Structure 1
């Protein structure tokens, strides 16, 4: 478990010695440096591999160049020289990335759709399984074998989604495919013990209810057609992740923690959508649709009104209030349980919530600010007293 503490203050009050504080600072600094170096290395490998693919733009040239990089990387790694191991890893992965990425693009571009998707699914799965076996067997080559496992998994999922697109699937197969991708990404992240991979699983998971993003003319857009249902879905993931954190070993718990943070972030983005537009729960699935020529506009409006009368409709004002309460409760719980990631996310979205509501929903309602401000004071007092109760209970248990 990672905790944030002021080592200078701990030395001053006698909790730590000067040498202990120095050791903690050294380990912390080393972890940060390693993270920055690995991030730069991975970004360089990905950029170089795909840059070569699109620059050469020829299957044979990409295959030859990729094989050369892979061979050079293997030779460097087999030499056993730790000083140049980073170059060996980079060369091998650039070559592997070129071969995997080039093969994927070539299959999709040049071969019939009925062949490309199954080929990618099978080839990616085989590559991932072989790399996973090698990952388990060797310790010095785990950076390479783990990366190849991810490349194989990526090929496999590209095949799955390409097959979905070509078959024009709709209905239940679509969210089930997203769930399959979620499970696969989480499994890969836990297997190689890289939380950044596990965090990526939130993308297909959120898309199960069509929550996603898109880009258009310098505008990056987040949309959630079912904000309430998506929040409930993501809330289940948060509670499941917290349960895993409390009951499973720390190695598994760390991955559950990053997944909980990502789910919390996306859930708050969904709440932001709801606080701006409100929500007619289930409208994107069950609301009547207007078909030109088959019904009049008045008939469509009547059918839509009848649907809204039978489902839950949450206005943007109510959404804004509920979101504020949820953020306050989340921040307090995260602070009490020392979940810094969730606490930081809650505080960040608290600022976003205040800013957006100031200009969108309650900008011309001064009484809302009076009520909200006065309500915040006893709420803060209540949380302070509740924290004292929790702290006293923890001290009694420790005693």
Structure 2
């Protein structure tokens, strides 16, 4: 268990003696030194891998470098040497991402390649106990449904072509992994919570896109080969469903003392509000002013909630 303490404040409050604070600082200094060594070695390993990739720029090189880095990270993880934990994480994550990127490039983003990448990232995350790889596996699963993101000059893009399927699939995954988190050992509990939280983000992205464009159920029609007239779930249905879901999850988060859940509900509630407000009312001085005032009120309420939670945990 890792705990963050403000030693100076604790000494001022009389909860720690100066001698006890100095002892804790000494223990932390050893960990800080090991952390610095790990970061330097990790950057060195990644730089060597990048140099090799630049010297021999082909997919085969990426496969070899990715596999070698992942094997090194996995080996360090299995030795359970605590002083090399960060280096193991750097090598494992970098190796897995390079290997999976090479696989997707080789198969030009085909569905079977995305499914393989999802499985590899999930297994790698469990074996290496890497929350980042677990989160990446959930995102890769979303890509199997066509979800994608992009960037070009001063513009970010998010595309989800199956909003309903995204909401249903990742809601089920969020609930399943949250249920598992209560039944797994501490190390794997963290991974299950990471998968659950990433799934919650995907659910909100599905609602967000659906609330703006609706859903034509293209995947479902393609699988059933239906010749019936096209069925479209309207955008307002997603908007109403999203609002109800955010309120329900926010209320549950307050009652269950889940600060992360409450903050996520508040953030996406603000996104939902802004998206629908300007989509329906347009952008003019009055709507901008009213939206800002409402958002400030919500921010104040969230700040008071977080402060109350923090005071209650002390």
1:142 is matched with 85
- 1:329-352 Cα shifts (integer Å, max 9, x gaps): 222223333332222111221122
Contact 2:62 2:98 in 1 (8 A): yes
CA–CA distance in structure 2, aligned partners of residues 197 and 131 of structure 1? 13
Contact 1:131 1:146 in 2 (8 A): yes
CA–CA distance in structure 1, aligned partners of residues 151 and 138 of structure 2? 19
1:160 partnered with 2:103: yes
Q: Kindly state the Cα deviation for residue 360 of structure 1 after the two structures are TM-superposed.
A: 1.7
Q: Which runs of 5+ in 2 are unaligned?
A: 3-12, 283-314
Q: Kindly state the Cα deviation for residue 147 of structure 1 after the two structures are TM-superposed.
A: 1.8
1:309 is matched with 229
TM-score norm. by structure 1 comes to: 0.57
1:88 partnered with 2:31: no
Classify the secondary structure of the residue corresponding to 2:158. strand
Q: How does 1:111-126 map to 2 (within 5 A)?
A: 111=58, 116-117=59-60, 119-126=61-68
CA–CA distance in structure 2, aligned partners of residues 257 and 278 of structure 1? 30
TM-score norm. by structure 2 comes to: 0.70
Instruction: Give 4+ residue runs of structure 1 displaced > 6 Å after superposition.
Output: none
Contact 1:235 1:263 in 2 (8 A): yes
1:280 partnered with 2:200: no
Q: Which runs of 5+ in 1 are unaligned?
A: 3-17, 35-80, 288-305, 364-399
Residues 196 and 153 from structure 1, CA distance in 2 versus in 1: closer, same or farther, beyond 3 angstroms?
closer
1:255 partnered with 2:191: yes
- 1:11-47 Cα shifts (integer Å, max 9, x gaps): xxxxxxx877x79xx99xx9xxx9xxxxxxxxxxxxx
1:356 is matched with 275
Q: Kindly state the Cα deviation for residue 317 of structure 1 after the two structures are TM-superposed.
A: 1.6
Residues 91 and 254 from structure 1, CA distance in 2 versus in 1: closer, same or farther, beyond 3 angstroms?
closer
Contact 1:186 1:197 in 2 (8 A): yes
1:227 partnered with 2:166: no
Q: Kindly state the Cα deviation for residue 125 of structure 1 after the two structures are TM-superposed.
A: 2.5
Q: Kindly state the Cα deviation for residue 315 of structure 1 after the two structures are TM-superposed.
A: 0.9
Structure showing greater Rg: 1
CA RMSD of aligned residues (A): 3.4
2:297 is matched with none
CA–CA distance in structure 1, aligned partners of residues 245 and 35 of structure 2? 46
Work out which of the residue numbers 102, 125, 134 in structure 2 matches 1:198: 134
